[in-house]
Structure 1
Amino acid sequence: MTANTEIKLRPLAAGDLAAVTRLDATNGGESRAGFFERRLQAEQQSPTGFFSCVAERGGEVAGFLLGHLLDGEFGGLERVAVLDAVAIDPAAQRQGLARKLVGEFDRSARERGASEMRTQAQWDRPGLVEFFSAAGFRLSPRLVLERPTEYVNF
């Protein structure tokens, strides 16, 4: 991918799913094809609650971002934008594409009444954590805890 080709931002389409799945696996390690198919369906059913943006360069998907909106989570009263997935083609990284995608999500989230954006990142993906830091994200005072459900015995 050449840096001087114009970037086009647009919503995710069904024809993008293979490219998005490939980019995500390249950046994250394993295919989440089912997740992306379900997200596209959810966005089609509830377009105001979900967000998708594809960065297209030279007719090819160079990156994408998916997010959604939450109302009143964990007792809060504010609408929150949640960045669920972002990935950029390795050949197009460090050229501002992810920043453009986050900027578009930020604009759309504010238009829809969100006052804050949240995301999560795996600690063993330092490049992603570094990007989020550069994009203005900070550690939350909240910890995300998880465990297998096999221990549920109420």
Structure 2
Amino acid sequence: MSVWMSDVPGEKGGPMNESTIKIRLMKADDFDSVVRIDRKVLNASRTEYYQLKFEKLFSRDYLPVSLVAEDKDGAVVGFVMGELYMGEFGIFQEEASLDTIGVDPDFQHQGIGEQLINEFVDHLKTIGVQKINTLVDWNNSSLIHFFSANRFSPSKTINLERVL
């Protein structure tokens, strides 16, 4: 069963290549499309990463929050993946993470990423989430700009690492 979240015209309300984008909850059947888009964006295969993500996201223990964007023909052209934070003893916290977003390069710069973010935010608000976190490579200025344009800002926490 498909749950349509919205029918979104192209950026700024105008036509997007004479088509309409539909945003819906991600299904397990979307695996191949997500992997295909990610491979086109990164020029590398992360199939194992997505196998683990899908296994986790579609287990009975997770509320569905990940979304896909479909074109007028029903082809998946973008996605956003995230999850809710669970606190101690499985108690729901009012925070979520956005850990992966991708838009097919043939459909980029048409407002699809922004629409995915907006629907993701709206969906999370309806289930009580008050803050969304994401991590971005410091050197990826285009992704930092994308998130900044979508009202993300630096958080009060700093991601530290230790090289071994």
- What's the TM-score, normalizing by structure 1? 0.81
Are residues 25 and 145 of structure 1, via their aligned partners in 2, closer, same or farther at CA, if it must alter by over 3 Å?
farther
The CA distance in 1 between the partners of 2:144 and 2:64, in whole Å, is 23
> Does 2:29 match 1:15?
yes
- When structure 1 is superposed on structure 2, of 89-98 and 131-140 the one drifting more is 89-98
Percentage identity across paired residues of the two chains: 32
The CA distance in 1 between the partners of 2:144 and 2:28, in whole Å, is 29
The CA distance in 1 between the partners of 2:99 and 2:75, in whole Å, is 22
- Secondary structure of the 1:5 match is coil
> Does 2:104 match 1:82?
no
Are residues 95 and 47 of structure 1, via their aligned partners in 2, closer, same or farther at CA, if it must alter by over 3 Å?
farther
1:6 aligned residue (1, 4, 20): 20
Residue type at the aligned position of 2:98: L
- When structure 1 is superposed on structure 2, of 138-147 and 34-43 the one drifting more is 34-43
Q: Find the counterpart in structure 2 of residue 95 from structure 1.
A: 110
Unaligned 5+ segments in structure 2 are 1-15
Are residues 47 and 7 of structure 1, via their aligned partners in 2, closer, same or farther at CA, if it must alter by over 3 Å?
farther
> Does 2:148 match 1:133?
yes
1:140-151 map, 5 Å: 140-148=155-163, 151=164
Q: Find the counterpart in structure 1 of residue 52 from structure 2.
A: 38
Question: Structure 1 residue 65: deviation in Å?
Answer: 0.4
- Tell me how large the CA RMSD over aligned residues is: 2.2
> Does 2:124 match 1:109?
yes
Unaligned 5+ segments in structure 1 are none
